[in-house]
């Protein structure tokens, strides 16, 4: 999540090496939500997760970030992209 937010902020807000306050707030929120995830290490990708843990407005923000930064991840972080793609094949845990 952090890598995608950094890419988004750099391209959208021209923030350079650091991220802006708005993007930092989104990153902080996402970090807390991921730390508190009920599935822990077995958490599936968000698209396959049966529990939507983000607030609706934050979920929309993350969708925008992912839509913009997702394709760029392949070039900037190819190993992370491959791992995320492979995680997409993992079955979602039961609720």
Residue range 81-91, pLDDT digits in tens:
998 888 888 77
- Over the stretch 7-58, which tens digit does the pLDDT of each residue have? 999 988 886 778 999 999 999 999 999 898 888 877 788 778 888 888 999 9
**CA gyration radius, the chain:** 14
Nearest to 45 by CA among 74, 88, 78: 88
Determine the average pLDDT of the residues in 68-91.
Answer: 89
Q: What predicted TM-score, i.e. pTM, was given to this entire model?
A: 0.83
Work out the number of other CB atoms within 10 angstroms of the CB of residue 55: 11
| Domain assignment of residue 39, given as a range | 2-87
Determine the average pLDDT of the residues in 73-95.
Answer: 85
Which residues make Cβ contacts (< 8 Å) with residue 14, sequence separation at least 6? Answer: none
| Residue 74, in any domain of the structure | yes
| Residue 95, in any domain of the structure | no
| Residue 36, in any domain of the structure | yes
| Residue 10, in any domain of the structure | yes
Query: 3 is written with which tokens?
Result: 């890598």
| Residue 94, in any domain of the structure | no
Report the alpha-carbon distance of residue 27 to residue 39 in Å, rounded. 20
Number of domain units in the chain: 1
């Amino acid at each position: 999540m952090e890598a995608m937010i950094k890419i988004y902020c750099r391209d959208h807000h021209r923030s350079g090496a650091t991220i802006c306050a708005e993007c930092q707030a989104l990153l902080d929120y996402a970090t807390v939500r991921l730390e508190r995830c009920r599935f822990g290490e077995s958490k599936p990708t968000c698209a396959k997760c049966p529990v939507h843990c983000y607030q609706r407005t934050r979920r929309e923000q993350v969708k925008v970030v992912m839509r913009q930064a997702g394709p760029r991840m392949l070039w900037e972080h190819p190993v992370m992209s491959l791992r995320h793609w492979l995680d997409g094949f993992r079955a979602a845990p039961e609720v």
